[in-house]
Structure 1
Amino acid sequence: MKHTITIEYCPRCGWMLRAAWMAQEMLTTFQQELRSVTLVPSETGGAYKIWVDDVLIFDRQQNAGFPEIKILKQRVRDHINPQKTLGHADR
């Protein structure tokens, strides 16, 4: 089963490039497991949320900031393929 990641970002906050970078990292790391990564401009100011399939795995407002890419990759991996090694990102 291929998975979908959705990144909702606030365009007024200037977070599109961050969302695009995180999308690139996800596509590179999870090439075999992903069907798509979708960027969604939010209508809610300050929003930055990430879903894997329909499961919310990150919310900037709940987590009081942005995740390190290492942490985000681990959360995605834990949801889509817990046996996958992430190399240096697992250390």
Structure 2
Amino acid sequence: MSTVEIEYCVPCGFRGRALDVQRAILSGLERELDSVRLVMGDHGVFRVSVDDEVVYDKADAGDEFDVDAIVRAVRSQAV
């Protein structure tokens, strides 16, 4: 079982994006995870980690944001 952390920038208004990712992860992987945690951040951060391993980082992805791709990355790291 794995722990997922979604860190998002509060001043940037990324809470909705974080909630969308959280909802999608829980919909597809709820029985395979220990927890999905939201962490408030700043400075434009939007990062998804599984057991402290980053699977998505906005800093690397730029404007590309694909919820399904993030869920697939979480699944491949968590399983």
Give the TM-score normalised by the residue count of structure 2.
0.91
Is the partner of 2:37 in helix, strand or coil? Answer: strand
- C-alpha RMSD over aligned residues: 1.1
Is the partner of 1:32 in helix, strand or coil? Answer: helix
Any unmatched runs of 5+ in structure 1?
82-91
How far 1:76 moved relative to its partner?
A: 1.0
Any unmatched runs of 5+ in structure 2?
none
Which residue of 70, 77, 80 maps to 2:78? 80
Please identify which structure carries the higher strand content.
Answer: 2
The corresponding residue for 1:35 is 34
Contact 2:21/2:71 (8 A) holds in 1? no
Q: Determine whether 1:25 maps to 2:24.
A: yes
How far 1:66 moved relative to its partner?
A: 4.2
Structure number with higher relative contact order (C-alpha < 8 Å, ≥ 6 residues apart):
2
> How far apart are the structure 1 equivalents of 2:18 and 2:78?
20
Aligned ranges for residues 41-80 of structure 1 at < 5 Å?
Answer: 41-42=40-41, 44-80=42-78
Give the length in aligned residue pairs: 79
Give the TM-score normalised by the residue count of structure 1.
0.80
Q: Which of the pair has more CA radius of gyration?
A: 1
